[in-house]
Amino acid sequence: MYDRVVDVSITNPTIWTRALELFGDEQKVIRWLATPLSELNNRTPEEVLREAPGGDEVAVILDRMEYGVFS
């Protein structure tokens, strides 16, 4: 799992940095990236980033989380 997440940190450093700022800890980011989310049709953020390297869907979720909108 960690190797895949390291790939995310390299292939999409913007998303990695935003998630790290939001969660404050690399291990929390790693867990979040590997957790299926209903907003992503039960895919993980890491899976979505592999499919769409721009990360728009994941960025929207991070935006909502940053502003306290979790649903």
Window from 5-9, 16-20, 37-41 with minimum mean pLDDT: 5-9
| Confidence (pTM) | 0.83
Task: Say if CB 54 and CB 8 are below 8 A apart.
Answer: no
Task: Say if CB 18 and CB 59 are below 8 A apart.
Answer: yes
* pLDDT value for 61: 94
Give residues with Cβ within 8 angstroms of 5, minimum separation 6: 29, 30, 33, 34, 46
* Domain limits, the chain: 2-66
In 10 A of CB 60, how many CB atoms?
11
pLDDT digits (tens, 9 = 90+) for 29-71: 999 999 999 999 999 999 999 887 678 999 999 999 988 776 5
